[in-house]
Every structure is written in C-alpha cells, then in structure tokens.
A and B are shown apart, each in its own frame.
Chain A
Amino acid sequence: MVSRKHHKLTMRRAYWLAAIAFAGVIGQLGFAQDHGRKFYPDDPLWREPAPRPVSGITTRTVDHIYDFLYGSYVTPRLEGKAAKRAPQRALDVNTLGEVPDSAWYTNRHSVRRMSIEELQRGPGNTTPPDPNGPWRITSAKRDGITPGFVIEDAQHNRYVLKFDPPRHPELCSAADVIGSKLFHALGYNTPENYVVHFRREQLEVAEGVMHRPPNGKKTPLTGRLVDELLRAQPKLADGTYRALASRWLDGKVVGPFDYRDTRSDDPNDTVPHQHRRVLRGLAVIAAWVNHHDTSQINTMDTLVTENGSQYIKHHLIDFGSILGSRGDRQKEPWIGHQYSVMHKETAMRAMTLGLYVSRWERSDYPRLKGVGLLDAWSFDPLQWNPEVPNPAFLMMDNADAFWAAKQVAAFTDDEIRAIVETGKLSDKRAADWIAECLIKRRDKVAQAWFSKVLALDRLRVTDGGLEWVDLAAGFGPGTPSEIQVQWKVFNNDQGTSEEIPGERSARLPEMRGDGYWMAVLESPQRPKQSVHVYVRKRGEAAQVVGVDRTW
C-alpha cells in the first residue's frame, strides 16, 4: 500500500547520495520483487517510523493578505482542477485506510474510546495560569485578528491571553476552548486552552513591551493602555475579567505549516500536505464544527525534543473562529456556506436584485450570550466551505471524507455535551444550543458521507468469523439491511484473487497453512458499493490487515 512506499521513501532519504547510486541496481531488483506485494509482514502500520533528527530549521512566516489572495484566486485553479483531472489518494494512510500516529496526528477517540474526563481534559488541563500570582505581559499579540497579550505567570509558564469581542462576551473564549478539546480528541495536536478569570491588578506590563493598535502606530504598552483595552471588556460581578489563556506550545515555534507541499527544511516531511488524509479529512471535521478560518495562520509548527532527538510537530491552533464565532465578532451568516470570493453566485445575486434567498439566509439564530450565529438547520455537510479555498480540502476524496466522518460520528451526545461544558458559558441555554447544534450537525455529517459507501467498519476476526459494525446504523434511514459475503483466496504476491465456491457467510473459510483471504461485502440495496476485507492467517491467528472500499 501507499504507506509502505512512503516509508521506503523516508528510509531512502537517510542514505548518502553515493550509497543510493551504488545500491540503485540492487534496489531496483528488490523493488521488482516487491512490486506486486500488497501487504508486508508488519501491516497494518499504526505508527509512522520515528522521525529523523532535524536541524537548521528556519521560522516560516505567512502574509495573511497574500495567503488570502492566493487561496481565493490560485488554489481553485491548482488543486481544484487537479482533484478533478488527476485525483490522487491520500499518502499518509495504512492498509486499513487509517492514519498512523505521527508528528501530525495521534489516533485517539475514534480508535480508543476516551472517557468523559479525558475528553474534557483535552491536551492537558493541569497548568492553567497561576491565579495567585501576577501575570506579566511580555509582549502584545500580533498574529491573528483577536487582540491579546503574551503573559508569563508566577510559575514562568507562558500563555497567549485573548479577549472576547466586547459586544459578544464569552463567544470567542468558549469556542477556542471547545475547539481545542474537540480537535484533540479527534487526534490533532492542539494547545492547552483555558477560560480564565483575573483581576486587573494581576496584570503587570514588562519593560519595553510595544503595542500596535489596529491601523495604528507602534507605541509602548503602558498600564493605561491595558486599562483602556479592559474598559471595553465586561467586568463580572466579582470584579474579574474573563479571557482565554492558551498555553504556549512546547518547543520552539517555527511558524505555521502550509496546506500544500512540504517544508523544505524538514526531512521527515515527505508527504505533500494536500495528500495527507489528516488535512484532507479536516474538511469534514471543519464543516462539523464550522471551523471556517482554516488558513495557515491558524496552524503552528514547533521544534520539539523527544528521546534526545529534535523533530517538527504540527499543530492546529486558534479555534476562535469556529462554531458561531469569527474571532473578533460573531460569524456572519454566509460563512460556512460559500467562499469569500465566488463570482457566479455574486453575479446571480446581483442580477436577481436579491430576490433569490438562500437557505442560510433564512436561518433562525437564537440570541444567546456566547453562541453567535450557529445553527444546524442550514448546515449541508456536502456544500460547506471555509472562507478561503484550502488546497488539502479540495483534494479530499470519498475515502478521506469517510475516514473523517468516522471521527465525527465517534462522539456520543453525552460526550459532545461534556466537551461543550468546558467552554464555561454562563447561560446554560447557550451551552445546550451549541451542543444540540453539534449533535445535529454530526448526524448530518454521518448521513451525508456514510450514504456514499457501505459504512462497515471496525472489521475484525473473532471466534473464527468476520465481524463489523455498521457505522450508518443510528444515523437515519439508508442503512442497508442485508450484507452479502463472498470469500476469495488472495494471492498477496500477485495481487490476484480466486473465489471460494460456497463460502458466503461471515465464517472464515478453511485454510491450510498461512495465507490471505479476501472477503467481498456487498448489499443488494447498494450494488455499486462494496468493501474488500483482507484477512491474513499466520499459524492459528487470523487478522484483518487491509480494507478497500468502492464508492
């Protein structure tokens, strides 16, 4: 499978150029021998090879305006057309179609159920800013659209302190915390985010901190300017202010990652990002939680050290623009339903004098503190769009979407409610609304993507039989009632299969010695869709080692 090739590529890069040239012929011979082999002894891989040590990493910077223009006008012509003309399957997957653990992703909730406590804890819930000591402002936040500071608490832990839009208290901070927990459970690397309450007296400004107001000139940050900023913030009855504290990521920050191509200075970054399932499938997940600002600026790479070796870890950050929030204000109604730049729709609306009314324009949003514009009624998971076209999203295929929909569908109602609780919304009705929206949106995601495939998953061999779970069950109509099984003997070296007559049950057929079977699962209600399940027998043990699906 492709992951094997990726692994080979990674290993090849470890050799000196001369050694590669010398070994070329032998390598060619070896490759020729492996060419038809579908599975290797260690398949399925659940963890990518340990990253090679890196050095000489430069810090990437992104110009937000350039990124917007490139994304709006160039990306649709590059990845948008490439996805239609030459679709390519994701390259970071194992033989089961799952994504191995890596510097990008860790299998969590959908593979290994997390408890409610673990879900609420997220990436860590043990180091909020020390509430008893002073918080020193060491710099003013420059990136992103929300004003804020970088603070250091009495324990010398650093945090980005961000405030809610003054007219929409709790909106951004709740979204940011909920997002960090959700995306962590989904497997992504996220920062520790906390809703904090503090008193003005706790904030101290370190010497030499500069501040640039919106469209203004850089000036020294003074206590009075801090007062001015806080003046716009609602002061709670106990005299405290609410904010979001996002703990500084471990390691050295080396800038955001791009959703296309690779980092040229990272030898471990061998899969073009637009061909990573974790980034392609993010389109489905982003739709679920309405993460409409999936630009580079909301990602971050850090140089971390593990076991004495340095490598680059990839994070999603800044979830202030999810749910009903747009970071510095509430989301606008069109967000999630179209790109910022869409010429055809613009022309149609212009010519019809606005008489054409979209579904999203008729949504009914509640006026609840901390909610913003979030609903499930107008949500269409197949039509959802971020603000700016994302190259990885455009390359997403059905396999990526199915993988991502599985992640989304893995959350139960109670788990969603528990995660929403971490947003610490003061109005219970607001938390209820957000949870209900996420539950309904999850159902829509599952219905939309599970209807495109036989959603048979968690395939395993138990007691001499093949077992599976129909993920579509419980997500509305359309679940096929009858699954037919046809067993075949699979030749792993040749990639060919031969039908075993009469073997039409979930029971494993008889096999002498080691080898591979392939079970073809089909449904009369979905004649075009099938699941090919590969089972490997070694000694007495049989294991599912591969899954292919047709759409």
Chain B
Amino acid sequence: MVPGSGFAIGPTFTKPLGDGKFILQVDARAAVNQSYGGRLELSMPRLFSDRAFANVSLQHRNISEMPYYGPGPDSSKTGRSNYRLEDTNAEFRPGVRVFQGLSAGLIGSYLAVNTGPGHATRYISADEQYGPLAAPGIDQQTNFWRGGGFVEYDWRDRPAYSTSGGKYSAQYVRYLDRDLGAYSFLRLDLDASQYIPLFNRTRVIGLHGSSSLTTAGDGQRVPFYLQPTLGGSNSLRGYRFNRFYGDNSVMVNGEYRWFCSPTLDMAVFVDAGKVFQRWEQWNLHNLESNVGFSLRLKGRAGSPGLSFDTAFSHEGFQIWFRVNTTN
C-alpha cells in the first residue's frame, strides 16, 4: 500500500523450500480506501554455491487514490488530484555475486498498467484536472516489456540499520511499449549511501544521494505514472507522498543520528531534491528542501521496529510513521 491509503491489513506467508534453497513468499494487503494488492515471490538466494541468485515474482496492485499534483517542479500543492493505478508485473531477476559485496544481474519483466479515476472524493480526479499533455498516458494505457540490468556494491555493516560502510547501485531499464508504441523510454536509477560512524557507532552521519533519469526517443514520452517522483517517507519527508512528478529527479539526504538508549535512537535530517525536464538541468540548484527529526524505537538486533519522522518544509510539516524500517 502507499501512504495515504489509511489502515491496511493482510496476511504474509513465507515457506522455505528445498531445505532453504528456495523461499516462497505470498502476501496480500487491503486498505480501507479500497486499495489492495498481492505478491507471489519465489526467491533463490543461494545458487551455485552462493555465487548466484534469482527472484521470480508476480505482483498486482490496485491503488485507488494515487496522488498527482501535475508535472514538474512548479506544480502546486493545491493542484492535488488523484487517480487509480492498477498494475501487474511479472518479473525475473537473476544475478551473480562477483565478489563480496559486489553483485550484478539482469531484469526482465512484463508490466501491464491501467489507470482510471481516483476514488477519493475530496480531490478531483487526475483525468479531469490534467490532460495528456501534462500527464502523458493518462488517456491511454499500455503494457510494457521491461529489460535491463543492475550493478550494486554493498559494504554496509548492517543492511537493516547501517552504522558504517556504504551502498552504491545503478539500474538501467528499457521500457518497451508493446501496444501503443508511444511510451517507450529508458530509465537509469543511481543511488549512493554512505555511513560515517562516530564514538563507537553511537553517532552516525548518514549521507544519501539518488537520481533517476529517463529519456524517450522521438515521438515517445514517459508516462506520468512511471515518472520519477519526490516526496514521501523515503525522499523529501517535508512534502506529501509523490508531491513532485518529473521526467528526471535528483535528491540528497543528510542525517545525524545519535544513541539515546538501547531501544531508542534519535536523528535530525535534511532532505533536498528536485524534478526536472532535461538532463542539462541535472545540478543541485533550485532544490526543494526540508529539515526534520526522527525517533526510532529499536529491537534487540538494533534495527528500528518503529520510526517516527517529522519534517518541515515551506509547504508545512509531515509526520511519517513507519514499521520495520531500514536506514
């Protein structure tokens, strides 16, 4: 479910198969705003003596109130609309571990997408507010073949809640519009995190940067529902979920985290980022920004089981409550 769906509930079933060589996971969720979704995943984390791994998954989502504020960095908070996003993704993701921490793999999937009028009555439906020029693909839906690859180097000490090390990843995916031939594009996602421990890891400075870049050929456009977005608990926390849509995005986060007790960490953070139209605008000028603080309740393993983030931006403040969070 996405933020704003309200209370959601659902079962998760996990079963190791073949003495743990395979893991089958099935989960389903339904929210009070009539959103629902399910996922079936078979993962093979250790193939060929741990040198390879693979995931096969089938996922379906029907999100009844996906927010949309219009395109680009100049969109207005008051321009909020909502749309229904229904997608089904069948994906195969094999990979190899080149050496400790470094892995690379391929992505192949089939993605079927449908959009429609939003369920929320307090916001206008996106198709009534924005036409296909502002929101490409809002009038026509299509299905995609997705193919690409990824490379990742991860040397964090604890992936669930890192105190040192870093993770750097790049993912390149080509979206091929197989029905309309109008929405084929390329997407490149770059992500880097670095953690600097102080005072026996009781203080941590966390730095994070990410950028998503897309490009479409002549006569092609990136559909708005597959555009990079900013805003939410994992990006600009002082802004509403998916507050900004654009063909490209760049974002940086900085965090200072300190130990309060074995069960509580606190943090202050700053987030900044923007969406933009052309690659030439890839820079750190004219960023939207926010500051905030966070309370993290930790379990015995030292990872937060509950997290409360409060962030302040010029658009107001947001409170994010998360369960089983990572970094």
Which residues of A come within 8 Å of B, CB atoms? 213, 216, 219, 222, 224-225, 227-228, 332-334, 338, 340-342, 345-346, 349-350, 353-354, 357, 360-363, 365, 373
Contact = CB atoms under 8 A, between A and B. Distances in A.
B200 A363 contact: yes
B19 A225 contact: yes
Interface stretch (B84-92, B107-115, B215-223, B261-269): B261-269
Interface in B230-286: 256, 258-264, 266, 268
Contacts of A219: 16
B80 interface: no
Contact of B266 (A332, A340, A350): A350
Contact of A333 (B19, B200, B266): B200
Given A332-B302, A334-B202, A354 B259 contact: yes
B19 A224 contact: yes
26 contacts: A213-B16, A219-B16, A227-B19, A332-B262, A334-B259, A338-B261, A340-B262, A340-B263, A341-B261, A342-B261, A346-B264, A349-B258, A349-B260, A349-B266, A350-B260, A350-B266, A353-B258, A354-B260, A360-B200, A361-B199, A361-B200, A361-B202, A361-B259, A363-B200, A365-B200, A373-B200
B93 interface: no
A350 B264 contact: yes
A225 B20 CA distance: 8
A85 to B, nearest CB: 27
Contacts of A342: 261
Contact of B261 (A216, A346, A373): A346
Contacts of B20: 224-225, 228
B322 interface: no
Given A225-B19, A353-B268, A365-B200, 6 more contacts: A219-B16, A227-B19, A333-B202, A338-B261, A354-B259, A361-B200
B261 A345 contact: yes
Given A362-B199, A363-B200, A354 B261 contact: no
B29 interface: no
Contact of A354 (B19, B201, B203): B203
Interface residues of B, number: 19
Contacts of B260: 346, 349-350, 354
Contacts of A225: 19-20
A353 B202 CA distance: 12
Nearest to B264: A346
A365 B201 CA distance: 12
A165 B202 CA distance: 22
A219 B18 CA distance: 12
Contacts of B264: 346, 350
A364 to B, nearest CB: 9
A281 B268 CA distance: 43
Contacts of B268: 353
B302 A228 contact: no
Interface string B1-31: 0000000000000001001100000000000
Contacts of A345: 261
Closest 8 CB pairs of A and B: A354-B258, A224-B19, A346-B261, A361-B199, A333-B200, A349-B260, A350-B260, A340-B262
- Residue in B200, B262, B264 with the greatest tally of chain A CB atoms within 10 Å: B200
A341 B263 contact: yes
A245 B20 CA distance: 26
B169 to A, nearest CB: 23
Nearest to A360: B200
Nearest to A226: B19
B24 to A, nearest CB: 13
A349 B203 CA distance: 11
A342 B264 CA distance: 11
Nearest to B49: A231
A357 B259 CA distance: 10
Nearest to A217: B15
Contacts of A333: 200-202
Contacts of B302: 332
A103 B262 CA distance: 36
A216 B20 CA distance: 12
A219 B15 CA distance: 11
Nearest to B260: A349
Contacts of A222: 19
Contacts of A340: 261-263
A360 B262 CA distance: 14
Nearest to B266: A350
A350 B256 CA distance: 13
Contacts of A350: 260, 264, 266
A216 B15 CA distance: 9
A349 B261 contact: yes
B301 to A, nearest CB: 8
Nearest to B19: A224
Nearest to A365: B200
B50 to A, nearest CB: 8
Given A361-B199, A361-B202, A334 B262 contact: yes
Contacts of B259: 334, 349, 354, 361
Contact of A357 (B199, B263, B266): B199
- Residue in A333, A342, A350 with the greatest tally of chain B CB atoms within 10 Å: A350
A377 B204 CA distance: 23
Interface in B20-68: 20
A333 B260 CA distance: 13
A373 B302 CA distance: 16
A17 B261 CA distance: 53
A72 to B, nearest CB: 10
Contacts of A354: 202-203, 256, 258-260, 266
B268 to A, nearest CB: 7
Nearest to A363: B200
Contacts of B263: 340-341
A354 B258 CA distance: 5
Contacts of B262: 332, 334, 340-341
Contacts of A373: 200
A365 B200 CA distance: 9
Nearest to B50: A231
Nearest to A342: B261
Contacts of A332: 262, 302
Nearest to B257: A354
A346 B302 CA distance: 16
Contacts of B261: 338, 340-342, 345-346, 349
A341 B297 CA distance: 12
A166 to B, nearest CB: 13
A278 B268 CA distance: 47
Interface in B166-213: 199-203
Contacts of A346: 260-261, 264
